[in-house]
Amino acid sequence: MNSEIKTQNPEPQPVAPNIVWHEGRITTEDRERVLGQRGCVLWFTGLSGSGKSTIARALEETLLNAGHAAYVLDGDNVRHGLNSDLDFSPASRKENIRRLGEVAALFADSGLITITAFISPYQEDRDRARQIVDAPAVADVDSGLRSQPSSLSSRPPRFFEVYVNTPLNVCESRDPKKLYAKARSGAIPNFTGISAPFEAPERPEIELLTHEDSIEACVNQMLRTLEDAGVLNAKGE
Amino acid sequence: MNSEIKTQNPEPQPVAPNIVWHEGRITTEDRERVLGQRGCVLWFTGLSGSGKSTIARALEETLLNAGHAAYVLDGDNVRHGLNSDLDFSPASRKENIRRLGEVAALFADSGLITITAFISPYQEDRDRARQIVDAPAVADVDSGLRSQPSSLSSRPPRFFEVYVNTPLNVCESRDPKKLYAKARSGAIPNFTGISAPFEAPERPEIELLTHEDSIEACVNQMLRTLEDAGVLNAKGE
């Protein structure tokens, strides 16, 4: 049925340049051309109180101010919604991260600079998220409509592991929600860093030291990485 | 910690106009200003073979060609990913639609014109998706950072129910994947339209007649609705 599609500009609107017309199936690259950026995922990981959400929001704000399309996935918009059926059991935590990886992959596929801010303490779970995000889209493989199938393997990585490496004692001294106090008293069991492990990333693309650098410096560090990776400078191509 | 954020333009890039600076918490409206459109969800519903995916992809292509940011969620990118743990039992079908509603709400919140193409046969499930999408963001309510809380209630609806109203006999005669044949023979149980009910939308925002109108006409019909609702003409404001 796809061959029936005959699309024209229905309204005299400015047409984005360089749109490649496929037969009813546009690609990630087409969307990226319109947005002037590459879709990607910055996967923040770090202890509670390390500054993940604060830096994530600051990065989103800075990108937006420069005209980029960005979006943060964090506890505020995911915990009470998509993952509201999950508790804090090990199986649920794993499923929590799996779904996040899948949703982040969809956002990256849509062309957005996607920022996730969750503790995500296990390397295995983060590696799985990376695998999901960097896998070629099922639709691309299935449909065989891509004109250059070889570009699937040559597509640059979209996943950036961002280690917000704030020492435990600094996180505990910040303790904005008094969670560490409750964890120390035993009121919260299995608390990452206190009574549950945090596995530091082995080879993060970005490592932030929030106890030494300002938020602005952390944001600039990430922007440089994104620019070097060609995420930002697709603008106006 | 949000008050610590001091963001500047790290690179001499063109700054999008009218960005309102919040203290580390930007809103849906800020993202929409950058994208020049309102985030929304077009929730397609209709029988297997009704043309949902074909029209969804044609709409995405047309929007993209006009410089808009759009994304389709359908079986190709959701069934094998986010919802790969779900089967076709009644409980799983319900959960399938619940997650889709939540993910569509996130996409709309990011500012994208979001198109979902699933049979979604039950009015109750579609109503729930509408409720999720049109609810004010949890973050907005919790944080109290919005300068005009009253705008929460006055925010225009983002959810458009699109009824792809193709008669069963037309869908069955198309039967591109020979599913109806299998359903008639009993090889596929609980098949919508044959051995499971399809509840036609009671008050859809858009009703498409694919057996009478061309794909182009259907796309134009949706574009008119989106334009009338102010989704598209935020461009350049």
Alpha-carbon torsion angle B50, B53, B58, B59, nearest 10: 100
Q: What are B192's strand-pairing partners?
A: B196
Main-chain phi, psi angles of A41, to 5 degrees: -130, 125
> How many angstroms separate the CA atoms of A203 and A216, rounded?
23
Please answer yes or no on whether A110 and B69 come within 8 Å at the CB atom.
yes
Average pLDDT, chain B: 83
Structure tokens at A49: 């109180």
Query: What's the predicted TM-score (pTM) here?
Result: 0.85
- Chain B neighbors of A7, CB-CB under 8 A: 58, 61-62, 65, 216, 219
Look at residue B235 and give its three-state secondary structure: coil
> How many angstroms separate the CA atoms of B93 and B86, rounded?
8
Q: Which pairing describes strands A40-45 and A113-117: parallel, antiparallel, or unpaired?
A: parallel
The pLDDT value given to residue A7: 38
Query: Is the separation of the CB atoms in B45 and B126 below 8 Å?
Result: yes
Interface mutation target, options B4, B5, B142, B146, chain A, most CBs of A under 10 Å: B5
Out of A35, A77, A215, whose CB is closest to B106?
A: A77
The pLDDT value given to residue A234: 65
> How many angstroms separate the CA atoms of B89 and B149, rounded?
41
Q: What is the pLDDT along chain A (237 residues), one digit of tens a residue?
A: 333 333 333 333 333 333 333 455 789 999 999 999 999 999 999 999 999 999 999 999 999 999 999 999 998 888 889 998 888 788 888 899 999 999 999 999 999 999 999 999 999 999 999 999 998 654 454 444 433 444 445 678 999 999 999 999 999 999 888 999 999 999 998 899 999 999 999 999 999 999 999 999 999 999 999 999 999 976 444
Q: What is the pLDDT along chain B (237 residues), one digit of tens a residue?
A: 333 333 333 333 333 333 333 455 789 999 999 999 999 999 999 999 999 999 999 999 999 999 999 999 998 888 889 998 888 788 888 899 999 999 999 999 999 999 999 999 999 999 999 999 998 654 454 444 433 444 445 678 999 999 999 999 999 999 888 999 999 999 998 899 999 999 999 999 999 999 999 999 999 999 999 999 999 976 444
Angstroms from A185 CA to nearest CA on chain B: 25
The pLDDT value given to residue A154: 61
Angstroms from B199 CA to nearest CA on chain A: 25
The pLDDT value given to residue A18: 34
Please answer yes or no on whether B80 and A138 come within 8 Å at the CB atom.
yes
Query: Is the separation of the CB atoms in B54 and B85 below 8 Å?
Result: no
The pLDDT value given to residue B1: 35
Among residues B48, B50, B120, B173, the one annotated as catalytic is B120
Q: Is B211 exposed, middle or buried (0-12, 13-18, 19+ CB in 10 A)?
A: middle
> How many angstroms separate the CA atoms of A110 and B44, rounded?
19
pLDDT per residue as tens digits for the range B141-175: 444 443 344 444 567 899 999 999 999 999 999 98
- The interface predicted TM-score of the complex, written ipTM, equals 0.84
The pLDDT value given to residue B19: 34
Instruction: Specify the residue for token string 């001294």.
Output: A173
> How many angstroms separate the CA atoms of A233 and A203, rounded?
25
Alpha-carbon torsion angle A207, A126, A60, A223, nearest 10: 40
Interface mutation target, options A3, A55, A106, chain B, most CBs of B under 10 Å: A106
Q: Which pairing describes strands A159-164 and A40-45: parallel, antiparallel, or unpaired?
A: parallel
As a whole number of Å, the end-to-end CA separation of chain A is: 32
Q: What's the 3-state SS for chain A?
A: CHHHCCCCCCCCCCCCCCCCCCCCCCCHHHHHHHHCCCCEEEEEECCCCCCHHHHHHHHHHHHHHCCCCEEEEEHHHHCCCCCCCCCCCHHHHHHHHHHHHHHHHHHHHCCCEEEEECCCCCHHHHHHHHHHHHCCCHHHHHHCCCCCCCHHHHCCCCEEEEEECCCHHHHHHHCCCCHHHHHHCCCCCCCECCCECCCCCCCCCEEECCCCCCHHHHHHHHHHHHHHCCCCCCCCC
> How many angstroms separate the CA atoms of B115 and B56, rounded?
6
